[in-house]
Structure formats: C-alpha cells, structure tokens
Amino acid sequence: MRVGDPVRILYVVGNSDLGGAENHVLALARSLDRKRYAVRVVCPRPGPLVEGLQGLGVRVHLIDMVRPAPDDEYELHLPALWDFFSLVRRWRPDVVHSHLYPAHLHASLVAELQRVPAILTTAHTLIVRPGDVWLAGLTRTRVIAVSQAAKDLLVQGGVPRTRVRVIRNGIEPRYFQDEAAAGREIRRQLGIPDAAPVIGTIARLSPEKGHRQLLHVARDVLKQRPEARFLIVGDGPLKDELRALAASLGLNGSVVFTGPRHDVPAVNRALDIFLLTSREEALPLAVVEAMAAGRPVVASAVGGVPEVVLDGATGLLCLPEDHAGFVRAVLTLIDRPDLRLELGSRGRERVRRRFGLARMVQETLRYYRASMARGERARAASGGAGSSGAS
C-alpha cells in the first residue's frame, strides 16, 4: 500500500440474506470513511445483503462459495477458490475479513496464499468447527469473537488464545431514537388494545432461538394474564411449524406472527417486555437493540447473553430449561411497571456506554492496523513484495 492510498478492505460473507452477521457487515461498510477506506464485498449470490450494499455504493462480487456437507459442515469449492484467487490478485486488498464459516474457509486460504497483510474472520456464533483450528494452523488469520463466551469456546477448541480478540458488536444510533409514536401505531395496526401488556421477540425462526419454548411460556402466562399479547417477529425454516404449534396451544388471537420487519426501533417501542428463549447465543444484537429502546429483557442465560443483560439490573435471566422461571419473570414484569421502567432505563444506559457502533468500528479498525503492521513485518522479513499496484 502506498502512503496516502486508502486501505483496501475486502469483506467476504457466507450468506446473502440479512441476519446478525450480514447487518454487522452493512454497519461497518456504512461507517467507514470512503476517503480512507476502499471497500468491496464478496457474497455467494444475489439477495437483500447485496441490495443493501449496492445502495451504499459498495461494489459487490458474487462468488458461489457455499457447499454444505453432512453434519452441518461445509466443503471447499475449487471454482470458488480460483475466483477468490483472481479477485485478490487483481485488487490487492490490505485486509481480508470474512464472516461465517464458508467465507472463512475460502477467503482465509486465498489471502494466505496471496500474502495479504491482514487476514481476519469474525466468530458470530458459538459453533467451533474442526476447520477453525485447521485454518488457524495453516494461515495467519486472526479471529474477532463477538463475546468472551465465543472466545472461550474457540480457545477450548484449539484456536490459539493470542489469535483471538473480543470485540463486541455495536448498534447504530437509530436504535436509540424516540419511536414511541411509531410503536403505538404498530400496536393499533395489529389490533392490540392500549392497555394490553405486549411481550415480544425479534429473531430468526430457527431451532436455536427457542421459539417452541416461548410459545409454551406464552400459554402459561396467558392463563394468568389473558389480556397480554405476544409478538413474534422474524422469518425462518420453522415458520409453518410454529404457527401450527401456536394454534394447537390455543394461542390464536393472543400471539401475532408479524413476519420479517425492517422497522425494528419502532417494533421495540411497541413492546413492554422483550423475551428471548434462545438455546445458544454468541452476542444477541436483538437484545442490545431492545435495551437501547429502554425495554426490560427476559432472556436465557446462555453464551454471551450475560455479558449484555445483567440479571436483576437490566433484565431477568433464566436457565434455558427453566420454563417456570421464564413464566415467573414475565408475570413479574407485567405486574411491575415500575420495575420495567427501572430495568429498561439501566439497560439503555448500559448499551449506550458499552455497545455503540462507533466503539465497535474503532476497535475493529485498530485491530486491522495492528494486523496489517504484523503482516507487513512478516512480508519484509521473508522478502515479499508489497501490495500496491492493483487495478
């Protein structure tokens, strides 16, 4: 890289839909100063993420890298490796930063072969694969863990501790904006009475999010507080199954499936309580966003959740299998508006201090610079060429 040139960052994402990892990349791309950082992104196929990036004026390359294998694994795809190799050789990025395992598997190998100064991947989940350890031994890749829980599992799995840094996710300022009027309008559109306590969740409808348990909690809460309403926001493979379960539990009319929504700040203002019954979470952005809206949280004490929600201070935590505990916690908050206000206010302040986007971006950029410096020193020691002169 020549002095004065922008730092070239190639983000590689193993999915083209919009979820936590994909919104993370969008937030980074939106936040970087275009005079100092040139950004390109690789996605496997067209989709909402591609549309969002193109709306920001970011150039997107489509490389079909996702090859599922048995036991929830992924395989190398040789044509994708060649496409990556050609792109990296042509553009000469200073940083290659992958998100989700199929991206890590292909991008980190190619970046190592091309001697890219900084190679990074972000661990957005608590899953540690054999390939994570293999890639740590084969490449110089450094890992960003979104929570201490994610780092601990990586280290236990065999990734060197010195190669993993915790940088917790941050949310954009819009999640702190006053959307009270929009929240009231959502309630009106959904036919929810003004006085009804509303308990909701925003999450992909997939097994690890624990929606089945949430519906059983809703059933038992409604037996005692029939005026309550539950909102389930999101889409996913369990959509039809969960709707059928809600009907079989007699919850029609009291549980509303909204499908995916893009007005999350307003949706959070429509809630009185945010409920998360996940079985696993690295760092739940949906909880952070709800806390930014001043909503008290009832959540599973799994993974990185206790790093966000302080039990009894900003929300109430339960063990994932403690059905009765979830029911008690929700009933307590329904009956205690004063406690809802107190927990919500503390949670909002905690998120403002610890989970802002600006902090996440600055920590990430510092890690880029440190990784680039290490990479350039290694290249110089081995007599490697610089990374300037790309088309």
In 3-state terms, what secondary structure has residue 307? helix
Both structure tokens of 37:
């950082």
Per-residue pLDDT for 356 more than 60? yes
In 3-state terms, what secondary structure has residue 252? strand
d(CA 131, CA 164): 15
Residue 387's pLDDT band (cuts 50, 70, 90): very low
Q: Rg of the Cα trace of the chain?
A: 22
Per-residue pLDDT for 268 more than 70? yes
Is pTM beyond 0.75 here? yes
Per-domain boundaries in the chain: 7-170+356-382, 175-354
Per-residue pLDDT for 388 more than 70? no
In 3-state terms, what secondary structure has residue 340? helix
Of residues 380 and 96, more confidently modeled: 96
Per-residue pLDDT for 232 more than 80? yes
In the DSSP assignment, the letter for residue 6 is P
Q: What is the mean pLDDT of residues 295-311?
A: 97
pLDDT at 3: 65
Contact 143, 164 (CB under 8 A): yes
E strands within 94-241?
95-99, 118-123, 142-145, 164-166, 198-202, 229-233
In 3-state terms, what secondary structure has residue 62? strand
Could you tell me what percent of the chain has a pLDDT over 70? Answer: 96
Q: What is the mean pLDDT of residues 84-92?
A: 97
Q: What is the mean pLDDT of residues 292-308?
A: 97
Q: What is the mean pLDDT of residues 273-296?
A: 96
Contact 143, 159 (CB under 8 A): yes
d(CA 220, CA 222): 5
pLDDT at 378: 72
Both structure tokens of 185:
């309008």
Contact 183, 301 (CB under 8 A): no
Could you tell me what percent of the chain has a pLDDT over 90? Answer: 88
pLDDT tens string 102-150: 999 999 999 999 999 999 999 999 999 999 999 999 999 999 999 999 9
Do the two domains 7-170+356-382 and 175-354 of this chain adopt the same fold?
yes
pLDDT at 384: 56
Per-residue pLDDT for 370 more than 80? yes
CA proximity to 103, closest of 129, 121, 126: 121
pLDDT at 390: 39
Distances (CA, A) of 66 to 16, 45, 106, 111, 386: 11, 10, 10, 18, 31
Residue 391's pLDDT band (cuts 50, 70, 90): very low
In 3-state terms, what secondary structure has residue 5? coil
Which residue, chain included where needed, has tokens 């993993």?
A: 164
pLDDT tens string 233-256: 999 999 999 999 999 999 988 999
CATH of 7-170+356-382, one of 3.40.50.2300, 3.40.50.2000, 1.10.10.10, 3.30.70.1140: 3.40.50.2000
E strands within 207-353?
229-233, 255-259, 273-276, 297-300, 315-318
Both structure tokens of 61:
């390359």
pLDDT at 20: 84
Q: What is the mean pLDDT of residues 171-194?
A: 92
Residue 383's pLDDT band (cuts 50, 70, 90): low
pLDDT at 369: 95
Helix 211-224 to helix 323-335 angle (10° resolution) is 50
d(CA 345, CA 339): 10
User: Average pLDDT of the chain?
Assistant: 94
Residue 71's pLDDT band (cuts 50, 70, 90): confident
Both structure tokens of 286:
């949906």
d(CA 280, CA 20): 14
CA proximity to 22, closest of 100, 119, 107: 100
Backbone angles phi, psi at 166, to 5 degrees: -85, 120
d(CA 306, CA 80): 39
In the DSSP assignment, the letter for residue 209 is G
d(CA 216, CA 263): 27
CATH class, 175-354 region: alpha beta
pLDDT tens string 2-19: 667 899 999 999 999 888
Contact 49, 26 (CB under 8 A): yes
Compute the 3-state secondary structure of the chain and give helix, strand, coil in percent, each to the nearest 5: 50, 20, 35
Per-residue pLDDT for 190 more than 60? yes
